[in-house]
Amino acid sequence: MEGYRSDTYGNAFADVYDEWYRGLGDIGSLVGLMDEETPSTGETPRKVLELGVGTGRLALPLADAGFDVTGVDASTAMLDRLLVADPEHRITVVHGDMVDDLPAGPFTAVLIAYNTIFNLETADRQRRLFAEAAARLTDDGCFVVEAFVPDDPPRSGAELMVRSLCADRVVLSATITEPSTQRAEGQFVELTEAGGVRLRPWSIRYTTPAQLDEMAAAGELVLAARYADTDRTPFDDSSRHHVSIYRRT
């Protein structure tokens, strides 16, 4: 998408992210999964690096559970919201790219949730992420990836639909999907009487679980477990989402 940058999504969605995605996933079970996958030694807090931390939807509950959380995000608008939600500065915030600007660590776990890995728009950038994450893990650490499973066969072409509708606002969703490049991009077009037109663009490169496993292997990570959700529902051919846990080889 012409003019689209790494911070475009965050800056476009920061003011509505918490409202639109409030009910997204079971945060409690995600925290539980992170707790089980990173057993505590009781000596020092377990350190988690969240990539695409956004407004702190997951980082704050993880901090509540006793994790020492560092969050990376390219969007100043998202991080401004996080800072308001975290007046005690429990989350260490890094404004930067989630491949090129990662802190040194080491971390007990690296977490990239809710399709955020697909915001990296090339296979090379996604592959590099696995290597960068691996380099920052403790010997027994894990890289947790949460994403959707692409349709098989993949969708193709353009689609326009209504996302939401109320008396003073309508939100339309316009999407173009190109299977040959594994790319999808779109706009949420928000129309209101008071505010007129607001565009909220997004752009992703989707990847299959098998492709992610190959990228992980190139970064010296191996798949340790894969579930259909954070409740550890068994993953199978009918699963539409996956939570994949990688560990150092």
| Residues 101-120 pLDDT 10s | 999 989 999 999 999 999 99
Tell me the one-letter amino acid at 175: T
What is the mean pLDDT of the segment spanning 201-229?
98
The mean pLDDT value of the chain amounts to: 95
Is the pLDDT at 41 greater than 80? The verdict is no
- Alpha-carbon distance of 200 to 222, in angstroms, equals 36
pLDDT for position 23 = 82
- Helix, strand, coil shares, percent, the chain, to 5: 25, 35, 35
CATH number of 157-204: 2.20.25.570
* CB 85 within 8 Å of CB 64: no
- Alpha-carbon distance of 49 to 66, in angstroms, equals 14
Nearest residue to 109 (alpha-carbon basis) of 179, 59, 161: 59
Q: Give the SS3 label for residue 25.
A: coil
What residue spans define the domains of the chain?
A: 8-150+207-248, 157-204
pLDDT for position 25 = 83
CATH of 8-150+207-248, one of 3.40.50.300, 3.20.20.100, 3.30.360.10, 3.40.50.150: 3.40.50.150
Q: Kind and range of the H or E element at 142?
A: strand 137-148
Tell me the one-letter amino acid at 70: T
Is the pLDDT at 81 greater than 70? The verdict is yes
Is the pLDDT at 226 greater than 90? The verdict is yes
- Alpha-carbon distance of 61 to 50, in angstroms, equals 12
* CB 41 within 8 Å of CB 55: no
Is the pLDDT at 40 greater than 90? The verdict is no
Q: How confident is the model at residue 42 (pLDDT cuts 50, 70, 90)?
A: low
At 150-167, the pLDDT tens digits run 998 888 999 999 999 999
* CB 229 within 8 Å of CB 144: no
- Alpha-carbon distance of 203 to 187, in angstroms, equals 9
pLDDT for position 43 = 63
